[in-house]
Chains A and B, each alone.
Chain A
């Protein structure tokens, strides 16, 4: 069974850092692009970053570029999101998601979400 299990959220002060993890199982992790998507309270979904299966191709949204970094450890079947210089506006539920194998960018499996709260 394909599963994405997230951890690492919490409360952090502005300017602080957090690392989110997404442990996967049930599929060949290294074959898939993976993404992070967030939902600010009361708002819609916002795509944050993606990384190819090999890790050679990656992209970050402008809103997080230079502050957030997506990475992966294929030996551990785990996706990460390193978040630095956090701002109040980064408060959101963060989801990891698997990209479709054929249609990259269609997010066909999602983690349960983890809440990040940035507040003083």
Chain B
């Protein structure tokens, strides 16, 4: 089973800040890496698939990069609606696994 780690586990930021979340896989997963946003009481939302492909309707302030084992999610200018928990997930091999999440809250 491929283990996913994320850092930081939580962060406090202000509106307008640039935020970077990193995700590491326990082995190479090529670009089979996806990012989700999850707000309490709501369904998760796919932001980025294949490491860097922005989903339709997702604001361009979100971007993803990386390949192999190391990946990152960037939010260029944090907006009030971006406060949430972010998860990475690999689909290189079953069982698909999620990272533990990064909670982004208001400073």
Contacts and interface: CB of A to CB of B under 8 A. Distances in A.
B26 to A, nearest CB: 16
B49 interface: yes
B83 interface: no
Contact of B43 (A62, A100, A104, A111): A111
A56 B45 CA distance: 27
Contact of B91 (A44, A104, A112): A104
Nearest to B53: A103
Contacts of A106: 34, 46, 49-50, 89, 91
Interface residues of A, number: 23
A16 to B, nearest CB: 25
Given A45-B98, A46-B98, A108 B55 contact: yes
A50 B46 CA distance: 17
A18 interface: no
B46 A107 contact: yes
A105 B32 contact: yes
A97 B53 CA distance: 19
A44 B44 contact: no
Specify which of B43, B46, B98, B99 lies most central, judged by the most chain A CB atoms within 10 Å of its CB: B43
Given A59-B95, A110-B44, 16 more contacts: A35-B96, A44-B101, A47-B96, A47-B98, A50-B94, A59-B94, A100-B46, A103-B49, A105-B91, A105-B96, A106-B89, A106-B91, A108-B49, A110-B45, A111-B43, A113-B43
Interface of A: 35, 37, 44-47, 50, 59, 61-62, 95, 97, 100, 103-108, 110-113
